[in-house]
Structure 1
C-alpha cells in the first residue's frame, strides 16, 4: 500500500511561495504604483499550468537570470492572481469568504490560465446551491458568457436545464436577439424544451430577422433574395425544428409565409403530412419533445402581463421585492398584475388614480418618463383614499427604477422612516412616496413630477442630474418631468397555485 503525505507536501510548497528561495520567474500585474510582483519558480508553474509553461518557454532570461512575465491586459486582478498562485503551489483554495462575483471572475481567470481542475471545481461550487441564486439573478449576462468562453459546460448545462423547464426566461428576455447562434442551437436540440413547436419556430424566425436588420419590415415586400438571406442566417437552426410536431393550423399560419427558407422536399413533406398523415415521407422526422403533451404545474406558467411599459422580467423583479427576496424570481410567478389605470386609456390626472384606486391596497404605480425612457415606480401596500389628506405609515413600501436598454441595473429603494412612507394628498392632487417620487397634477401636460433625496427611503431612484439634494444643494432647481405613459396595477396572489 502506498502512503500519501499530501498535506505535508502542500504545506511545504506553500512555504516555498512565502519564502521564494531560488526563484527564477517574476510575474508582474497591475499598474504602478499599485502593481504587484510575484516571485515564483518555473518548474512549479510549468508543471501545473499549460498557459504558464508556454509563457515561460517563450520568455528569455534577463541579465539577472530571471524570466519576467507580464500579465496581458485581461480581467485578472491582483486579488484573483494571488488566489491562483496559492492554488498552484499548495493545491488549496478557500471560497467561503469570497463573493459569488469574485468566484466567477476566478473561474474565468482559471480557464484562461488552463487550470482545468480548478475550472471544474468552481463551476460545480456555483451550481451546487452555493451560488445558484446569484447565477439566476445574473442569468442574461452569465448565460451569454458561458457560450463566449470555452470549458464552461457545467454552468451552460445548468442554464439549459432552467431554459428547458421555463423557456420564457430566455425567449422573452430583452437579450434573446443577441443570443449567439451556438447557444440558440443548443436550446433547440433539447428534447425536454417545454414550448410548443409553433412558438419555437416563431422565436427562431424573429431571432433570424434580428440578425439581418436590413430585411424589410413588411413581409409582402420581401424578394427571393430576402428569403435567401434569412435562410442563410438560420441554416444552423432550421435542422433542429421538429416540423412534424407543429399543428396544422400553425403550419398554415406560421410556416407557409416563410416556406421559401425551407428545402423544397421538406416543405412538400410537411404539406403531405397535413393532407395524408399516413403517407410515407423521406424527410428526417425528429421525435416530438418529451414534454410536449405533459401537463405542468400551473405555478410555473408565466403571467399574462397587461402592460405597455414593463416586461415579465420586470414583473418578476417587482414580485421578488414585494416578497423581500434577496434575488429576483426566475422560475415562479407568484402574483397577478391586474391593470387598474392606464394614462392613455383613462387619463393622466392624479385625481383619476385616486378615483379608480379608492380603497384599493397593494398597488404598483409604473411610469415611463417623457424624454429619457426611464421606468420609475412605487409599491404601496396600503389603501389609497380619495377623500383624505394624510401621511401613511408602512414598513413595506418601496420605490424603484427598472432596468432598460439605457440603464444597466434596476434600483430599489425601501422605506426606512415608516411613519412618512406614503403621502395621500387628494386636495392638492398629489400622490407621493415621501419626496423620493412625487406625482402631481396632470402627469403628461403639467410637468410637475419630481424626485429628490430623502431620509425616508434608502436611496434615490434617479441619477444625480435628475434629482435635487435637500442637504447638499437645497436651493438648486428641481428637475421636473412629465410622463409618456403610466399604469397602476393591483397585485394579487395567483389563485392558480394550489
Structure 2
C-alpha cells in the first residue's frame, strides 16, 4: 500500500479532533464587532502548523490554573479563518469550491498566518486555472501581489502580462478603473509589446473615463475641458514615446489634444514632426544597451542626418537641438538604472557633488548604483513603508535620492554624503544639498546647499520615515499614503512649493566616489 493512501484517513481524524468539543485547550476570537466568532483549537497543532500563531502563543504561555488560553484575531474574517483552520488541521483544501474573490481573501489571510505551502498552492492554482478572471480583474491581482513580497509567482505573472500581453489589460472592461500608478507602470514599460499610437489611444481613453462629463470628441472641448484632461494625464504624458509615432498618427491622433501638453513639450514635438529630416521612427531608449551614453544614442538615431543636427535626450524622449545650443555632457556617467532621471540629470548632480557649475567640464566619473526603488522595495503594513529602506541604506554614505511627485512636473531630490542613521539624531554635514528639476527641461533646475550643517539630515527614527533632509522629507501618512514635504529652514533656498504631496515613485542611488 502506497504511503500517500494513508493520508486521507489521517486528515479525517485530525479534522475530527478539531470538531471535538472536549479536549481543546485554546479559544480564538476572530473578527471584530459585531461579527466575532469563537473557535476551539489545540495549541500544539497551531504551534507547529502556523509560524504566525506560534509567535502569538509564545507570548501567551499556558498556565496551570485551569483557565483556557485565549487569543484574538480581530483583522481576520471568521469565514476565511474557518477555511484556513480546517486546512491547518486536515492539510488539504479544495480550491475549486470557492469563488475566485474568496480565494484572494484566503491567499491574503494565509500570508498573515505564514502558511507558505498554501500560498504557493493557491498562486499556482490561480495562474494555471483562472487567468481569464485575473486579466479581467488585473487591478486587484496587481495590487494584492505587490502589497507584500510573499507572492512572487503572482508578481511574475503581472509583470509578464504587462510586458508581453498589454492589450489584455488595456482592452479589459475594467481598464478605466485601474489607478494612475498602474497606468504609469504600464506606459513606462520599455519592452511593451504594443505600438506607441495604441498606447496613446488607451491613455486618452483612460483620461476621458476619469472625467465622464467630458465630450468624447476633442473638437467639442471647452478650455476648461482641456484643462481637466491635462490635469488628469499630466503624470502620464512624459512616458509616451511620441517620437515613435509617424507624422500621420501625430496629426490625426495627437494634435487634436495639443492643449493638454506643456508648452515646451508641444513645441518640441511640433518642431520634430515639421522637420522633413525627422520622419523616421526612433527606437525606445531601452532598445539600446543601458550603459550607452547619449553620444551612442546619437550615433544610432542620427546616422543619416546632416552634420549640424544633434539629438538630445530629455525625460525619456529625443529632442532635436540646434548646433549652437550648449548640450549637457553625459560622457562621464558610467551607468544609471532609473525610472525618474536620465543621464543628463545624473551628470549635473555629479557636478554639484564636486561643487562645479552645470556648465563646467566634468572632472570625475561616477556610477549611480540603484540601492532602493519604492515600487520594487517598499514594505506593506501600517506605518511600515520604509522598513527595507532602513535595512538597505543603513550607514550607506554618498547617496542621491530622487522623487517623482503626483500633480507636478518637478523631479525633487537630495544628496547625502554621510551614512543614513535611524537613531533619531540629526546628521551633520556641510556638503549635502537638495534640488528640483523641471520634468521637461533638464537645464531648468534649482540647487539649494545646506546652510545649517547641524541639521542637514533630518532626524529619522520610525519605519514610516524615509530619506529626509532638513527641508525635504519623505514619510508615510496616517492614511497610509506615501508623501513628501518641502520647506525652507536649513538650506539656502526653497526648491519647490509642494507640501504633503503624494509620491508616485522615488529612488535612492549609491554614488561610487
TM-score tier by shorter-chain length is: 0.3 to 0.5
Q: Tell me the TM-score normalised to structure 1 length.
A: 0.43
Instruction: Please identify the structure whose Cα radius of gyration is greater.
Output: 1
Bigger relative CO (Cα 8 Å, ≥ 6 apart): 1
Q: Tell me the TM-score normalised to structure 2 length.
A: 0.42
